[in-house]
Amino acid sequence: MSSKMGRPPEAREATLEAIRELAAAGETDGANGGVATQTIAGEIDRGRKAVAKYCRRLREEEKIRRVHGLGPNGPRPSWLPVDGDGGGE
């Protein structure tokens, strides 16, 4: 995926695509969580801070929603697409 990334609009679209794909594949946190920011960052080969920024923007655009689940170290926020593509809620 990283080869398709350029400026922030393309990066946000790659982020959204990664969230949809990872959620559909079940790569989500436990207890009805979504896709963790660090998981998305690894998928699109971007830093966690950049991905968090893209996620906030996508949330403002109502393309994703923030949920909480259980990560490896306890509860944490994560992300799911609003269109219902995969995920744990």
pLDDT (0 to 100) of residue 15: 97
- Confidence grade of residue 89 (pLDDT, cut at 50, 70, 90): very low
CA distances, 7 to each of 18, 58, 59, 70 (Å): 16, 15, 18, 32
pLDDT (0 to 100) of residue 60: 96
pLDDT (0 to 100) of residue 87: 43
pLDDT tens digits, one per residue of 17-48: 999 999 999 999 999 999 999 999 999 999 99
Architecture of domain 2-81: Orthogonal Bundle (1.10)
Distance CA 33, CA 76 (A): 8
- Confidence grade of residue 85 (pLDDT, cut at 50, 70, 90): very low
Is the full-model pTM beyond 0.85? Answer: no
